[in-house]
Structure 1
Amino acid sequence: MTRVALYARYSSEGQREASIEDQFRNCEQYSQRENQWTVIYRYFDKAISGATHHRESYQQMLKDAQAACFDVLLVDDLSRLSRDQVETEMVRRRLVYWGIRLIGVSDGIDTAKRGHKVIANFKGMMNEVFLDDLRDKTRRGMVGQVLKGYHGGGRIFGYRLVPQLHPTQRDPYGQPIRVGTRLEIDEAQARWVKWIFEQYADGMSPVKIVEELNRRNVPPPGIAYRRRSTRSPSWCASALYGNVKYGLGMLNNRLYKGEMVWGRSRWEKDPDTKKKRRFLCDERDWIKHKDENLRIVDDQLWECVKQRQESVHDASLAIREKLHANARTGRGPKYLFSGLLTCGQCGYRFVIIDPSRYGCSGWKYRGLSVCTNTIMASRKLIEKILLESIKHDLFTPERIAVFTREASMLLAKRQHEQNLVQNRQPVRLSQVEQEIENLLAAIKAGIVTPRTKHELEKAEAEREVLIRASELGRQRSEEIASFLPNAVDRFKTLLDDLAGALQVHVDRARGILRVLLGEKILLHPTSNGVERFLTAEISGNYAGLVRLATGKNKFGGGQGS
């Protein structure tokens, strides 16, 4: 029996959820035409662009492919895997190396056939060109809408979106066709826009402004957005001061003075990190026009705000020039517990408030109405106390017993999965050995064709993969067998590694802590009647300890989460 997996994806560009069913049906029909092909896995990602590889089902499919959970992967066409040419080529290479046959049903790509590399690379290039064309066409259409006077962006605080309907044309459901969207001042929000400008011009800082807005329960700009977080949205200072250069932030939005600017910046993806970065476009390409109907603040108030921004900027420059090396701009150093400390009262991160102390970002940047935890603690003191607690209090004999139980369950599961793979490997290895013998016998009998040579090379390559996989399985089994008897000693070794990493590589130490402790350490404001202080709530991540001790973690440090 040949085990078959299906992968389907649709993005949001004019597609619908039924597209997944259509792709699966096409792949299943192909599978039914083959002998003894059985579909055992179905992976799909809904409404996710093929330009990104950060897709949950896509990543799970790759993990299962590496674990040899199936033999053939069917996709409707290669663009379902990725619209990125480099990613498409990398996934094709991975699947071939893992011994997984990749078939694109609609575009005729089959990695078992000779010459598939040329076709796959050509299709990958065409898929990437499709994305470029789609971006250009989308921008062209948006430019056309903006030139007609329609709105070419999303929601803006202070305005409401008003659909513009065609007077005569109807869609298939009999409803008027939407030809564009115009902005209209929302008086309830506009008064707060003007209030923000007035307060800043009078000398109030953005932090104090948002603190007052949150205290008065003024709905923030993102109140109507679709949110994944269950935390109630609130005002943040960065929504006000933004970035003057890119025109970001309420205090820099020229629309409030009746001047629309479109096409100021663009996004480009970094080829190494795959993260998008904003770039400023040539000012000659910006689209500008005046619309007094959209004015909320007058020119005098606008100029007062700009003058104060300039004075604040000049004062900051003067301070930096005097402080020299002690004045930091941009991203600061990565401290040991950065990204792990969380306020137990509001749920926001503890961040570096000044060069030597941690404080709650909810209080610092959103005000007392969001969080009253104003306690700041020395960074060095926090590091010293928490490290001592990890070494002496966290993994006590009682908790080590819990760890041993958790480890036993995790390792037993891993052993079971490994056994399933190992049990299939000898059977397949025997089949491949027989295929090689038959091909050699055919060659000795004088049956030598290009296909014979290709099949022999393919069989020998598969034999090497199976042999290496079998050896790796035995090594993992030995690791599992030797782990539990020495669990406590291994944990102490990890703590020694942590101490060593602190001396030379903070990122690696933070990676160890993240796996040992999980994603957060809660800091609760506490009082004994005389003074206020913070108490830390930490818990051991025993599954993470197993991964560390067996070498299955790469210490993925980083700044925050």
Structure 2
Amino acid sequence: MLQTPIEPIAEADPISMATLIESIQADAELSDARRRNVASSIRRLCGALDIALAEAPAAFWFLRERLAQVHPAQAGIKPHRWQTIQSDVAFALKRIGLAPDQPKPRVDLSEEWANSLQHLDQIRRRHWGLSRLARYCDGRGIAPAAVDDAVMADFLSYLRTQTLKTKPERALRDVCVLWNRLASDAEDIALQEVTLPDNRRTYLPDWEAVPPSLRREIEDWLASMSKEADLLSETGPLRPLHPASVASYRYALRQAIAGLMHSGRPLETITSLGMLVEPRAVEGALEFHRIRMGVKQSQMLAQKTRRGLRGRVEAGFSGGGNSYGYRVVRRFLADGTAVNGEREIEPLEAEIVRRIFDEYAAGHPPRTIVAGLKAEGIPGPRGGAWNASTVNGSRQRRNGILNNELYLGRLIWNRQHFVKDPETGKRISRLNPEAEWITTEVPELRIIDDETWARVQELKSRYAGWAGNTRQTRKRLLSGLAVCACCGGSMTIARRDRYYCATRREKGTCDASHGIAAANLEARVLGGLQRLLVGNEALLDAFAEAFRQELARLRGSRQSDATKLRRDLAETERGIARCLDYILSSDTPPASVRSKLQDLEADKTRLEAELAGLEADLPSPAIEIHPNLPELYRRRVAKLAELLENQETRPEAMEAIRGLIDRIEVGPPETTRGPCRVTLVGALASVLAFVSEDATMRNRRALVGHGGYAFGTTLLVAGA
């Protein structure tokens, strides 16, 4: 295997790139065009590499290191132009004598080398792959038959120190592959095959570099596994391992050693097999191999965090969050490190917890307890109002004050985990099996005695089967749409299938006492929709015309804005081009205009984002009102009316229009015994309000805004 260390060319006092330009411009043997082109290429290269002409040394090794870190696309240069620039710079460096082994260009090869390359053409191989090697060897008087591993090693050193090739090792391997094919196919010219360089970088330690004691233990263990063992022996397999299995075991052990090394353990300190199976060593090795296999860093961090949290919970510390009745302990150790996860009882909040347990044990429901706390002005766990669910919680998930076993001196962790809903993107909690829960006794955090706890849990289990405490599972037509017009909170089913304000029931912060029967609300909404949808087909022409006018206005306004943005973007791009031309054509360091260029790039990014957003929102010219829309509307409404009339198909009709309704606001009645006010809010309300108005009102409203039609978003539904 060919291995030659990289050694930069030794120069007592290397010249700068600025001096290189001066030398080229003073070279009388070059034409004026050639001098200009080479000087321009040097400036262009230094600008792309972001290096100052007066500070950058004119050396192959310096430029090659930086060229390996830059892609032509980053500098805004096309690949063929990038190759031309590198060729011109290499020519300039060779011109001043920095490449003494460089073969002379445009000189005919000797007959031996010309015949060898001609054989490549005969066997349909590309001869230009060996042209650099041929000129290098011919210039030094090396015949094709004399090319061996030593010549290839010298050629690699030449590629590293006197060319701008960013990957000389790969270039050498390609040359060796082609040379060996020539040597095997053209036997009449008697060429030597050379050793292919192995450029692979293995992460495994060299077997000879492993400490002798560890190597001895591994070999002894593998030897014991590969021979027949006594049936009564406690060591060794019943059947000897196959040699291939022994090799696999040895490779796996080398992987374990490599993982331990890359996790921070020096190789010379790994002296026995026992060190490879220590828990911390195994974790470090597994983490290294996860990274090699492409496991996301975030996943590894999550796993490591959970392992750390579990250890802290088992030690009696908090695993995250803080329960009502406790406060976080802030203290530092003698070495200055902070102590995390410690909790202690908050006396005032602990008294509130005992009061809640005592009142519930005495028969007071959670809503009554919450009302008393609110009346006394006692803030809730998060500083706001108390909620009945905060007290009651869930017996299955063990949350809520009455179910929190920490008040009993028992810390429970890992009760649930979260998954993401692929449709909504929201996190959803899932209960873990009880066998996976981590429980630790913390008697110093006990607030409630065993007798009170048992009494409360007995009452909760007794009430859990009551009809009022079972969850409403029936899906209603208007589920999730009804809201209270007074506070904006949701309205839920309670007391014989009637909708009531949930905020009033749970928190007591809303004064709305009105309710509406679910059947009444459904009849009013669906009946009102049926009356408005059917019989108004003739008014759809006016709606279509207003829709066309609004589209035309929006399109004209946004096209004007888009034209201005395109004009500003073009001016910004011209400014960027001027800055680049100044950098490439001037000897001034690019730092002087870098801030201006960065500002222009930021403006370009902002303008492109604004233009893309505006074009995305621009109404498409393809959006037009179909001439037969009234007839189509009549057919669709007739079908929808049929669905609404049939009790069995009403849910299907409601699903068709749910997406057009944002919410249904239910307000208090205007008179003592009158019906509640029901208002539709959403896009469907806009269309229905339009078709339900008379022509005079539409004409008055048509002038609202910028010449367009001001559609409403609410529609009052009359009582059934």
Change (3 A) 1:157 1:402: farther
Structure 2 residue matching 1:509: 3-state secondary structure: helix
From 299, 317, 327, the counterpart of 1:160: 327
- 1:354 Cα offset (Å): 4.9
From 455, 461, 467, the counterpart of 1:304: 455
Structure 2 residue matching 1:352: 3-state secondary structure: strand
Structure 2 residue matching 1:165: 3-state secondary structure: coil
1:504 aligns with 2:654: no
1:353 aligns with 2:494: yes
- 1:295 Cα offset (Å): 2.0
Alpha-carbon distance in structure 2 between the residues aligned to 1:143 and 1:124: 23
Counterparts of 1:307-326 in structure 2, within 5 Å, are 307-313=458-464, 315-316=465-466
- 1:253 Cα offset (Å): 0.3
Alpha-carbon distance in structure 1 between the residues aligned to 2:363 and 2:424: 40
1:370 aligns with 2:513: no
From 424, 442, 451, the counterpart of 1:291: 442
Match of 1:183 in 2: 343
* Letter of the 1:244 counterpart: R
Match of 1:550 in 2: none
* Letter of the 1:356 counterpart: D
Alpha-carbon distance in structure 2 between the residues aligned to 1:157 and 1:331: 29
Match of 2:666 in 1: 523
* Letter of the 2:667 counterpart: H
From 675, 679, 682, the counterpart of 1:537: 679
Q: Is the 8 A contact 1:349 1:362 kept in 2?
A: yes
Q: Is the 8 A contact 2:663 2:682 kept in 1?
A: no
Alpha-carbon distance in structure 2 between the residues aligned to 1:399 and 1:540: 19
Change (3 A) 1:400 1:342: farther
Change (3 A) 1:541 1:266: closer
Change (3 A) 1:283 1:382: closer
Alpha-carbon distance in structure 2 between the residues aligned to 1:514 and 1:211: 37
Specify the structure having the higher radius of gyration (Cα).
2
> What are structure 1's unaligned runs of at least 5 residues?
1-27, 37-122, 170-176, 224-232, 320-326, 421-475, 547-561
> What are structure 2's unaligned runs of at least 5 residues?
1-69, 79-289, 563-619, 689-720
- 1:201 Cα offset (Å): 1.0
Match of 1:132 in 2: 299
Structure 2 residue matching 1:339: 3-state secondary structure: coil
Count of residue pairs brought into register by the alignment: 349
Change (3 A) 1:531 1:128: farther
Deviates more, 1:490-499 or 1:396-405: 396-405
Q: Is the 8 A contact 2:420 2:426 kept in 1?
A: yes
**Could you list the per-position Cα deviations for residues 224-262 of structure 1 after superposition, in whole angstroms to 9, with x for gaps in the alignment?**
xxxxxxxxx533222222222321111110111222222
Counterparts of 1:243-262 in structure 2, within 5 Å, are 243-262=394-413
Structure 2 residue matching 1:180: 3-state secondary structure: coil
Change (3 A) 1:159 1:498: farther
**Could you list the per-position Cα deviations for residues 355-412 of structure 1 after superposition, in whole angstroms to 9, with x for gaps in the alignment?**
632221112333xx31232322122211222233345569999999688646643476
- 1:181 Cα offset (Å): 2.8
Match of 1:210 in 2: 370
Structure 2 residue matching 1:523: 3-state secondary structure: strand
CA RMSD of aligned residues (A): 4.5
- 1:330 Cα offset (Å): 4.6
Structure 2 residue matching 1:359: 3-state secondary structure: strand
Q: Is the 8 A contact 2:320 2:341 kept in 1?
A: no
Alpha-carbon distance in structure 2 between the residues aligned to 1:271 and 1:513: 21
1:193 aligns with 2:235: no
1:237 aligns with 2:388: yes
* Letter of the 1:379 counterpart: A
**Could you list the per-position Cα deviations for residues 54-105 of structure 1 after superposition, in whole angstroms to 9, with x for gaps in the alignment?**
xxxxxxxxxxxxxxxxxxxxxxxxxxxxxxxxxxxxxxxxxxxxxxxxxxxx
- 1:301 Cα offset (Å): 1.2
Q: Is the 8 A contact 2:361 2:456 kept in 1?
A: yes
Q: Is the 8 A contact 1:201 1:304 kept in 2?
A: yes
* Letter of the 1:541 counterpart: A
Alpha-carbon distance in structure 1 between the residues aligned to 2:291 and 2:542: 52
Match of 1:432 in 2: none
Change (3 A) 1:248 1:539: closer
Alpha-carbon distance in structure 2 between the residues aligned to 1:30 and 1:334: 61
Match of 1:338 in 2: 479
1:379 aligns with 2:518: yes
User: What fraction of aligned residue pairs are identical, expressed as a percent?
Assistant: 28
For normalisation by structure 2, the TM-score amounts to: 0.41
Structure 2 residue matching 1:538: 3-state secondary structure: strand
Q: Is the 8 A contact 2:544 2:625 kept in 1?
A: no
Change (3 A) 1:353 1:407: farther
1:388 aligns with 2:555: no
* Letter of the 2:521 counterpart: I
Match of 2:6 in 1: none
Structure 2 residue matching 1:184: 3-state secondary structure: strand
* Letter of the 2:676 counterpart: L
Deviates more, 1:207-216 or 1:291-300: 207-216
Alpha-carbon distance in structure 2 between the residues aligned to 1:379 and 1:125: 60
* Letter of the 2:512 counterpart: N
* Letter of the 1:136 counterpart: Q
Change (3 A) 1:525 1:181: same
Alpha-carbon distance in structure 2 between the residues aligned to 1:274 and 1:32: 36
Alpha-carbon distance in structure 2 between the residues aligned to 1:200 and 1:145: 33
**Could you list the per-position Cα deviations for residues 235-292 of structure 1 after superposition, in whole angstroms to 9, with x for gaps in the alignment?**
3222222222321111110111222222233334567886655444454543333333
- 1:145 Cα offset (Å): 2.4
* Letter of the 1:191 counterpart: E
Q: Is the 8 A contact 1:255 1:295 kept in 2?
A: yes
Change (3 A) 1:168 1:494: farther
* Letter of the 1:521 counterpart: I
Match of 1:144 in 2: 311
Deviates more, 1:389-398 or 1:158-167: 389-398
**Could you list the per-position Cα deviations for residues 280-313 of structure 1 after superposition, in whole angstroms to 9, with x for gaps in the alignment?**
4454543333333322222221111011112223
Alpha-carbon distance in structure 2 between the residues aligned to 1:510 and 1:208: 38
From 14, 33, 40, the counterpart of 2:75: 33
Structure 2 residue matching 1:248: 3-state secondary structure: coil
Match of 1:93 in 2: none
